[in-house]
Amino acid sequence: MESTLILYNTLSRKKEIFQPLNPPFTGMYVCGPTVYGDPHLGHARPAITFDVVFRYLQHLGYRVRYIRNITDVGHLENDEDQGEDKIAKKARLEQLEPMEVAQYYSDRYFIFMEAMNVKRPSVEPRASGHIPEQIEMIRKIVDAGYAYEVNGSVYFDVLKYNEKYKYGKLSGRILEDLLSNTRELEGQEEKKNIVDFALWKKAQPEHIMRWSSPWSEGFPGWHLECSAMGTKYLGEHFDIHGGGMDLMFPHHESEIAQSRIANGSDSVKYWMHNNMITINGQKMGKSLGNFITLEEFFTGNHPGLSQAYSPMTIRFFILQAHYRSTLDFSNEALQAAEKGLKKLFAGIETLKKITSVDPSVTTTSGINIQQLSDNCYQAMNDDFNTPMVIANLFEGVRIINSVWDKKESLSQADLELLKNMFGLFMGDILGLKEETKDGGDEVVQGLMDLILAIRKDVREKKDFSTSDKIRDALQSLKITVKDTKEGTVWSGD
């Protein structure tokens, strides 16, 4: 399938043809989590969104280097604790070493991402492991005259930058508006201007995480780590930078400014932003306290959840919406996703059982598998339209079931095409895989065979009350029995 990938570039606010700087090599950087809390549903969205981008680019034959950072330092918290590092704050509260906290939560992050079948990126760099690179970058910016030092802290001079370049071009901000609207925050009197942002902060005595630098013992500013690590692993120019929409300003805006000065040119070709997940129409976020962690979803252990939802259900739920749309969480929506996903997997099971086709059928009437497959490619090529892909998969399931019911027939070629389509789009690209199901136990299998054989006997004698008693008893053990034309099948829940 030869076709062109088009993606929406936040920078131009247009869909653009994807043309990597050095094909077939492709560089992609995505802002990862700050590891000071358990991952919640909001973290799943960018991880899954860019996982699909990663998978699809690879499928198209690109050699992708995918970087997703771990922020374990330098993320300032400005609300209650003045200028205190998030990791350090959490560490003090829990009486743990800062790196212990970072380790714990990054481990948790990886576990939950793996459960949702999110592939590990090529490199997962930590900010704390790249202090020299960050210092070097600050030095370049200082040397270029776009940063100034005050009491051991270094700030980026946004006003000066704006004279020559445009600060705000990504987010559509106008500097004058920012100057008149930005809220006054305490502890920022060092800055020449409120819009300036920190590249290096001098550590207060109580601050545990600190490194030496030409300016002071301290720690790097948040925006810097992504610029420094992106440059280190992907070079001064790379293709895609992704992240949540809420990071557009000031984080990504500041990255653009820093890289522009330090590297002498714009570093990112395509900016991609996923939209937010909302709950009751409001953004689910840490600051609002309305977030539900992934563990709570997987266990159902949260007052807002009427049941547990499996990792694949969460993944499917997210992929059912386009990544640039907001996605509203509700139990109803999640249950719908769960059922829909089950239907897709049931279709795949049925597809596996269709082995022989009617040899007389060379062409099929009304069924165009090639068209279905093409639709999937077109959907992916049009800015990763996963909901459209899913709609076509459902159409595929309808065909599968019709064929199984002998209401439709397929040619051998079409059958192969259909199998490939499901394997590719459902499995490789959307990354949806069947979750572990029991039944591998030989004893259980033997018992079930025995029980169903007995049930078969009584059914043949039209002793339906006994037959139903067995089925009901099994159902109460969460084993569903179905009598199909091909015999009785069972499935554990």
Residues 396-455 interacting with RNA (rule: CB under 7 A): 397-398, 401-402, 404-405, 407
Contacts of 164 by beta carbon, 8 Å cutoff, 6+ apart: none
Contact in structure between 126 and 226 (CB atoms under 8 Å): no
Contact in structure between 148 and 139 (CB atoms under 8 Å): no
**C-alpha neighbours within 13 Å on the C-beta side of residue 317:** 28
Using the minimum distance from each CB to RNA, give the nearer residue, 277 or 314: 277
Minimum separation from the CB atom of position 273 to RNA (A): 8
Minimum separation from the CB atom of position 383 to RNA (A): 7
Which of 5, 20, 26, 34 touches RNA (CB under 7 A)?
Answer: 34
Residue 413: which H helix or E strand, with range? Answer: helix 412-421
Q: How far apart are CA 309 and CA 333, in angstroms?
A: 11
Using CB under 7 A as the binding rule, the residues of this chain from 78 to 97 that contact RNA are: 78-79, 86
Contact in structure between 15 and 8 (CB atoms under 8 Å): yes
Contact in structure between 401 and 347 (CB atoms under 8 Å): yes
Using CB under 7 A as the binding rule, the residues of this chain from 6 to 25 that contact RNA are: 13
Using the minimum distance from each CB to RNA, give the nearer residue, 37 or 152: 37
Using the minimum distance from each CB to RNA, give the nearer residue, 38 or 428: 38
Residue 348 makes contact with RNA by CB under 7 A = no
Longest dimension (CA), the chain: 93
Minimum separation from the CB atom of position 86 to RNA (A): 6
Please count the residues of this chain forming the interface with RNA, following the rule CB under 7 A.
94
- For residue 173 the two structure tokens come to 């901000």
Q: Residue 77's beta-bridge partner residues?
A: 84
Name the segment binding RNA (CB under 7 A); options: 30-38, 292-300, 361-369, 432-440: 30-38
Which of 148, 467, 474, 479 touches RNA (CB under 7 A)?
Answer: 467
Q: How far apart are CA 298 and CA 314, in angstroms?
A: 9
CA 334 to chain centre: 17
Write the interaction track for RNA spanning residues 171-210; mark x where CB under 7 A is met and - where it is not: xxxx--xx--xxx-x--------x--x-------------
- For residue 193 the two structure tokens come to 């201007």
Minimum separation from the CB atom of position 392 to RNA (A): 8
Total H helices, total E strands in the chain: 16, 17
Using CB under 7 A as the binding rule, the residues of this chain from 280 to 319 that contact RNA are: 281-288, 291
Minimum separation from the CB atom of position 106 to RNA (A): 12
Using the minimum distance from each CB to RNA, give the nearer residue, 2 or 184: 184
Residue 461 makes contact with RNA by CB under 7 A = no
Residue 244 makes contact with RNA by CB under 7 A = yes
Minimum separation from the CB atom of position 63 to RNA (A): 26
* Residue with the two structure tokens 């030092």: 149
Q: How far apart are CA 50 and CA 113, in angstroms?
A: 12
Using the minimum distance from each CB to RNA, give the nearer residue, 143 or 457: 457
Phi, psi (deg, nearest 5) at residue 261? -75, -45
- For residue 433 the two structure tokens come to 């895989």
Residue 492 makes contact with RNA by CB under 7 A = no
Minimum separation from the CB atom of position 235 to RNA (A): 23
Contact in structure between 356 and 403 (CB atoms under 8 Å): no
Using CB under 7 A as the binding rule, the residues of this chain from 263 to 282 that contact RNA are: 274-278, 281-282
DSSP 444-472: HHHHHHHHHHHHHHHHHTT-HHHHHHHHH
Contact in structure between 450 and 457 (CB atoms under 8 Å): no
Using CB under 7 A as the binding rule, the residues of this chain from 316 to 335 that contact RNA are: 320-322, 325-328, 330, 332-333, 335
Ordered alpha helix ranges (H), 182-266: 222-234, 253-263
Using the minimum distance from each CB to RNA, give the nearer residue, 20 or 415: 415
Using the minimum distance from each CB to RNA, give the nearer residue, 45 or 65: 45
Q: Residue 375's beta-bridge partner residues?
A: none
Which of 5, 11, 31, 141 touches RNA (CB under 7 A)?
Answer: 31
Minimum separation from the CB atom of position 369 to RNA (A): 15
Which of 148, 200, 222, 271 touches RNA (CB under 7 A)?
Answer: 222
Residue 459 makes contact with RNA by CB under 7 A = yes
**3-class SS of residue 34:** strand
Q: Please report, as a single letter, which amino acid is at residue 30.
A: V
Minimum separation from the CB atom of position 22 to RNA (A): 27
Residue 76 makes contact with RNA by CB under 7 A = yes
Name the segment binding RNA (CB under 7 A); options: 201-209, 260-268, 293-301, 390-398: 390-398
- For residue 118 the two structure tokens come to 């999110």
Using the minimum distance from each CB to RNA, give the nearer residue, 22 or 325: 325
Q: How far apart are CA 50 and CA 30, in angstroms?
A: 8
Minimum separation from the CB atom of position 23 to RNA (A): 26
Name the segment binding RNA (CB under 7 A); options: 207-215, 357-365, 387-395, 428-436: 387-395
